[in-house]
Structure 1
Amino acid sequence: MKKSDYAALRMRWMSAFGLALVLSGCGDKGQAEQTQKPAESKPAAQATKPAATPAATPVTNSPAVATMGTLSVSQGDLEQLLRSLSPAQRQQLTANRAALEQVVRSSLAEKALLGQARAQNWADKPEVKRAIQAAQEQIVFRSYLDSVSQPPDTYPSEAELQQAYEQNKARFVQPASYRVSQIFLAAPFNDAEAVAAARKKAAELVKRARAPQADFAQLAQENSQDKESAARGGDTGFIPLQQVVPELRSTVQRLKKGEVSEVVQLPSGLHIVKLVDLRDSRQVPLTEVQVQLRDTMRAQRQQDAARAYLEGLLNAGTVSIDGKALQGAVDGAK
């Protein structure tokens, strides 16, 4: 696939993502919502009925993932969408079935809308023609600039990669992380009666949690009012200290492995925490970050090359700017 085709495809599917936001919340209302007609606008000299929507041509002759009347989103359409995303975006979308289905529904709505627009020759409107031309020029510009600024496949070399790693070694330090379990008792700060009752219960829980052979996970499951962590026996997983609630950081930092804290009061309630495990900070080796570092270096090299290429074009000739015409354009845009 040519880069210009790729860019156009990406723009099309990104607009489907935008439409997904407009349609969010509609996905759970069933088929009736999908077939509901949009409110009809009646511009002068236009038919009051929505124009018929011609069938869309699938990207490949592949099974339909979704259909709506004569419209369809094929398996090939969806595969092209997924390939056009970054690995992180692709993983996020494929892991969320509801979001993926919403994007498919949004694409059907987009195809229906485009069909109506084509039936009314909407692309022939002067302002739309100008926008299409501007978009086409921007795609060609970006595609060509990418081609002339692409770093060679051999960049960066192993030596350059090692040098960049050494120069930025501080960036590749993984901070110490703490695996903390908690018991939370809700007690709003301004409710003295609730705080007193919660403190009494919390003191008893601390005593039980510190007893020999105590099962903190069971105590959390039975007593913690933070449902999400309670379901895991209070476990919040490994987190860097900077991601711990500020009011709890000093408490967590002082704990020894296996130790249970005193009751800590926050505006929302009372916390009892146990340090389950601790991972010391470590220098992440190059082998673990070389893919990320290589991508970063290539992107930076391409950005620098693109800037230099554009500056070279300007330096190749004499640029003359008409101040009066420039101000006229500014005034005309107001």
Structure 2
Amino acid sequence: MQLALGLFIGFSTPALSQTVPPHPLRSQPPVKVSETARTKAETNSAPAKEKSAPAPVSGGGETIARVGGTELKEDEVKALVAGLNPRDQAAIARDPSLLAQMVRVLLANQLVLKEAVAKHWDQKPEVAAAIEKAREAAIVESYLRSVSVVPADFPDQETLQSVYDQNKSAMLVPRQFQIAQLYVASGADGDKAAEEKARKKLSDVQAKLKQPSADFDAVARTDSDAKDAAEKGGAVGWVPETQLRQEIKASVIGMAKGAVSEPIKLEDGWHIVKLIDTRPASTLPLSDVKDQLIQRLRDERANAMRRAYLGELLKKDPPAINELALSKVVAAPTP
């Protein structure tokens, strides 16, 4: 069963940044080896088409789950995980709860399948045709994978180093800022009383922050309207400058470490930002991107082997296409 996990965690602090993933260097693979590799990566990350899950064959090991008289065994779950692409496997390793989610989807599919088969849904002509097409596609895909197996020792260290050197510009990590913020929500549009109350709170917060012994962490905990961040003293963490809102970045760039900005008005309210530290732009070392780079190169080699195999197949038995008839099919109106 293919499961596109597509993990994405939005940035919870209101309006401070553009969409910020949990690790700014891992939101997308940092190396662009070639168009072929890029296309393969996009294909792997796209949501998989929904398919009716077949009834699990009784496997070995401990029973993991049970629904409607069907048991899911430990070996079957291992086989499901083994069938996922490397990115999804890594996601499950980081967050085991995703595996439970996958199992629930499988079990729900089993209930749907049981009901559909009981109603002979699989015998409907259009469904039977779709099943046959899916069967053929599975056979073709499985066979093509078997003829495009990349040697275990590819790529070697020399190739890896060469590709890394050629793609260093794609591995630049932008300057990053470690920041904290204090957020004061504005009133609803047109609500003058709420707006006035918000401005009064902002004025009180500014007064606290300007006191000689002011503690930004403490004020954020008690006065920030961004509750999640407030619990951490307003701490946001490290944010690449490319993901900061332009209004925030304009203030942060000119600040010294430990400095606190004036209130920055955005559509949701006012943001007061403290700059804790700065990291200059840098290039990721090979050790940090080695695994991703190896996977990209192996994907590219597998694609090349697949194309070469198909090319030889078509050379031995060239297809004959009636271009005129084909053009009429394309031009024909959809019924």
Q: Deviations over 1:120-163 (max 9, x none)?
A: 55544443332222212212222222222333223222111111
Partner residue in 2 for 1:172 = 171
Q: Distance in 1 between matches of 2:289 and 2:317?
A: 43
Distance 1:253 1:128, change over 3 A: same
Q: CA deviation at 1:263?
A: 1.4
The answer on 1:159 being equivalent to 2:158 is yes
Partner residue in 2 for 1:285 = 285
Q: For residue 246 of structure 2, what is the amino acid of its counterpart?
A: P
| Pairs within 5 Å for 1:272-311 | 272-311=272-311
Q: For residue 272 of structure 1, what is the amino acid of its counterpart?
A: I
| Pairs within 5 Å for 1:134-283 | 134-188=133-187, 191=191, 193-283=193-283
Q: For residue 85 of structure 1, what is the amino acid of its counterpart?
A: L
Deviates more, 1:57-66 or 1:284-293: 57-66
The structure that is helix-richer by fraction is: 1
Give yes or no for contact 1:198–1:270 (8 Å, CA) kept in 2.
Answer: no
CA RMSD of aligned residues (A): 2.9
Q: Distance in 1 between matches of 2:194 and 2:115?
A: 61
Which runs of 5 or more residues in structure 1 are unaligned?
1-9, 18-55
> 1:62 is paired with a residue of what secondary structure?
coil
Q: Distance in 1 between matches of 2:68 and 2:154?
A: 50
Q: Distance in 1 between matches of 2:320 and 2:151?
A: 35
The answer on 1:113 being equivalent to 2:106 is no
Give identity over the alignment, percent: 33
Q: Distance in 2 between matches of 1:144 and 1:283?
A: 40
Q: CA deviation at 1:105?
A: 3.6
Give yes or no for contact 2:56–2:72 (8 Å, CA) kept in 1.
Answer: no
Q: Deviations over 1:158-195 (max 9, x none)?
A: 11111111111011111111111111111146555544
Give yes or no for contact 1:156–1:297 (8 Å, CA) kept in 2.
Answer: yes
Distance 1:207 1:109, change over 3 A: closer
> 2:265 is paired with a residue of what secondary structure?
strand
Which structure carries more relative contact order (alpha carbon 8 Å, separation 6+)?
2
Distance 1:91 1:303, change over 3 A: closer
Distance 1:89 1:151, change over 3 A: closer
Q: Distance in 2 between matches of 1:70 and 1:314?
A: 48
Q: Deviations over 1:52-110 (max 9, x none)?
A: xxxx665423333332342223333333333333454345457374x654543433332
The answer on 1:130 being equivalent to 2:138 is no
Larger radius of gyration: 1
Q: For residue 181 of structure 1, what is the amino acid of its counterpart?
A: A
Q: For residue 265 of structure 1, what is the amino acid of its counterpart?
A: K
Q: CA deviation at 1:270?
A: 1.1
Deviates more, 1:307-316 or 1:295-304: 307-316
Runs (4+) off by over 6 Å: none
Distance 1:135 1:61, change over 3 A: same
Q: For residue 173 of structure 1, what is the amino acid of its counterpart?
A: L
Give yes or no for contact 1:58–1:72 (8 Å, CA) kept in 2.
Answer: no
Give yes or no for contact 1:224–1:230 (8 Å, CA) kept in 2.
Answer: yes
Distance 1:195 1:133, change over 3 A: same
| Pairs within 5 Å for 1:55-134 | 58-90=57-89, 92-93=91-92, 95=95, 97=97, 100-119=99-118, 122-134=121-133
> 2:147 is paired with a residue of what secondary structure?
helix
Q: Distance in 2 between matches of 1:217 and 1:286?
A: 37
Q: CA deviation at 1:244?
A: 1.6
Q: Distance in 2 between matches of 1:132 and 1:159?
A: 46
Distance 1:262 1:145, change over 3 A: same
